[in-house]
Amino acid sequence: MITLYNFGPFQGLADPSPFCLKIDCYMRAAGIEFETKSGANYIGKSPKHKLPYIEDDGKAIGDSSFIIEHCKEKYGDILDKDLNAEQKAIARAFIKMLDENLYWCIVHSRWIGAGWPTVKEEFFGKMPLPLRMIIPAIAQKGVRKSLYQHGIGRHSEEDILDIASKDIKALSDYLGTKDYFLINKPTTLDVCAFAFLAEMIVPEMKCDLNEVAKSFDNLVAFVNRMKTQFYSD
């Protein structure tokens, strides 16, 4: 059985990381049996020093893209076998937009923007003093540096929100009135879109980015549909 290493539950979701949530949802959608071990302490054991990663028959695999690739090769391309070449190309473009662009906007909204008080309490609130006063500032400083190095952190709050809003609108426009993005059942794109959209729509976190995501009725309905289908437990 596959073991998925992630951070653990967060405000109604299986994980606070869209990448961890992506793999959790992919396994469920593809019908792959797995167990979960949660905790930030597993980061140091990960082959790429980040979560998620999986262990499958003694082999450790890191990075959500490589995990999905591994699962497709070993267990069959359950979700995408009915897609044509054009649909696969569209899926890859959207997934990379989520992974490489929208993700950093979410990070900024949580760790630097208005979502920080919620994140600070959720992640560090149970630490004993004085760690509860010291560690959050150190962690936030590290995230700020990563955002700046990526490039998104060099923009203003307004510009970052505008960048994210255009990504979210693109998802809404493409989904339209359909139940799923490409065909009449979930594909890898749906799993990935759910993972990122749910991180903005489900948690009770007051920030402008989440309000933007929640303003698109078809995306809210899509997240609820995926949650009902794969997280009814």
pTM for the model: 0.95
End position of a domain, from candidates 16, 40, 75: 75
End position of a domain, from candidates 31, 54, 75: 75
pLDDT value of residue 233: 79
Quick one: 111 and 207 in the same domain? yes
H-only helix segments in the chain: 18-30, 64-75, 85-97, 103-111, 116-124, 131-150, 157-175, 188-201, 208-214, 217-230
Quick one: 129 and 226 in the same domain? yes
Per DSSP, the three-state class of 3 is strand
Any domain includes 80: no
Quick one: 44 and 124 in the same domain? no
What interhelical angle do 157-175 and 103-111 show, nearest 10? 130
pLDDT value of residue 118: 93
Quick one: 121 and 49 in the same domain? no
Quick one: 89 and 194 in the same domain? yes
pLDDT value of residue 18: 98
Range of the domain at 120: 85-230
End position of a domain, from candidates 75, 97, 130: 75
Residue 19: both structure tokens together? 């990448």
Residue holding tokens 């979410």? 106
Q: Per residue of the chain (233 residues), what is the pLDDT tens digit?
A: 999 999 999 999 999 999 999 999 999 999 999 999 999 999 999 999 999 999 999 999 999 999 999 999 999 999 999 999 999 999 999 999 999 999 999 999 999 999 999 999 999 999 999 999 999 999 999 999 999 999 999 999 999 999 999 999 999 999 999 999 999 999 999 999 999 999 999 998 889 999 999 999 999 999 999 999 999 97
**Residue 124: CATH number of its domain:** 1.20.1050.10
Domain count, the chain: 2
